Structure 1
């Protein structure tokens, strides 16, 4: 758990003095792709929402600013979401 506490959360500003996870929140680790290693805050998401993954805005994907990275739950390891590709 200490390793997760040092990680940066998706959406946190680069200059945020505390860009890491917050107590009482639930996170998924993003694996591969442009957001590899970031944590996604899924606090309050329903089981249906969690099962559907997320399209996350990123400026560093294949489509540049405004593009999205598609991340989905990893089969057998729901704590990690795998990159499925970039979309415009």
Structure 2
């Protein structure tokens, strides 16, 4: 019975971690896109450079929830509290 509670708590904690990481990445992606679009409207001649930088920044921001999800899944699978 104890193991079931520990496993359920671990899965719930992993889900919360993933949701928080995804929501944080969504806010980060939105902030990057907004700033890039503002910069593109101010300097139309730099659109290609700004667009490349925006895509790189969004890719970097998106790597955070992927890493958090992998860590959460690994912690669920290799739980040290299970006997």
Larger relative contact order, structure 1 or 2 (CA cutoff 8 Å, min sep 6):
2
TM-score (norm 2): 0.22
Richer in strand (by share): 1
The structure with the largest alpha-carbon Rg is: 2
TM-score (norm 1): 0.21
Richer in helix (by share): 2
